[in-house]
Amino acid sequence: MEFYCPLCGTQRAIIAKPHLSAMNYLQISLITLAISACLYPFMELKGIFSFFLVWALFEGALRLNFRKEVPCPHCGFDASWYKKDVKVAREKVDQFWRVHKKADANVSQNADGAHMADHASEFGEHTQYSEFANGQNYEDGSINY
């Protein structure tokens, strides 16, 4: 299903389907047969009723997978929440932007190279504490190797 996000206008595509396919029903049947075969010594043919449990689990997993793909990864707009409650949808978008602003702030704090100190052993002598990384070898336009 392809569409454009109504909030940011980004082209989106949802791959997951919210409904069970014929292949899913075949999988449910095979899993039910396997469970029934394992439970036959204890429950005899009553194990066939595990079909409903497996069906419910498949249905729930497919719907959760579909719901996971609905929110826009660029702006946080969730059409399913907008359909249910506009205020909640607006709050979800605000929450999305608050989280992303915090993430951007953390990235900008680390942009000065302070995060390099944690990885000094990985980079050997060429870290922010070495002459090379501090730019002292670049004086007068000459580079000393």
| Residue 125 scores a pLDDT above 50 | no
Domain boundary among 23, 40, 74: 74
**59-108 confidence digits (pLDDT tens):** 999 999 988 888 888 888 887 888 888 888 888 888 888 888 877 777 66
Q: What is the pLDDT of residue 1?
A: 79
Other CB atoms within 10 Å distance of the CB of residue 93: 20
Place of tokens 């429950």: 43
Backbone angles phi, psi at 2, to 5 degrees: -110, 140
Domain boundary among 48, 74, 100: 74
Instruction: Indicate the pLDDT class of residue 109, thresholds 50, 70 and 90.
Output: low
Interval 44-59 mean pLDDT: 94
Interval 107-114 mean pLDDT: 59
40 and 96 part of one domain: no
Q: Is residue 80 part of a domain?
A: no
Instruction: Report residue 27 as tokens.
Output: 């999988």
Q: What is the pLDDT of residue 131?
A: 42
Q: Is residue 144 part of a domain?
A: no
Interval 1-6 mean pLDDT: 80
38 and 57 part of one domain: yes
16 and 47 part of one domain: yes
Q: What is the mean pLDDT of the chain?
A: 77
**7-26 confidence digits (pLDDT tens):** 888 888 888 888 999 999 99
Domain boundary among 74, 98, 127: 74
Among 40-44, 74-78, 89-93, 109-113, whose mean pLDDT is lowest? 109-113
**Which residue would you say has higher pLDDT here, 145 or 12?**
12
41 and 15 part of one domain: yes
Q: Is residue 143 part of a domain?
A: no
Q: Is residue 104 part of a domain?
A: yes
58 and 92 part of one domain: no
108 and 127 part of one domain: yes
Q: Is residue 145 part of a domain?
A: no
21 and 65 part of one domain: yes
Report how many domains make up the chain. Answer: 2
45 and 65 part of one domain: yes
Q: What is the pLDDT of residue 12?
A: 84
Written in H, E and C, the secondary structure of the chain is CEEECCCCCCEEECCCCCCCCHHHHHHHHHHHHHHHHHHHHHHHHHHHHHHHHHHHHHHHHHHHHHHHHCCCCCCCCCHHHHHHCHHHHHHHHHHHHHHHHHHHHHHHHHCCCHHHHHHHHHHCCCCCCCHHHHCHHHHHHCCCC
Type of residue at 84: K
End-to-end CA distance of the chain, in Å?
57
CA–CA gap between residue 76 and residue 80 (Å, rounded): 12
Q: Which domain holds residue 103?
A: 85-137
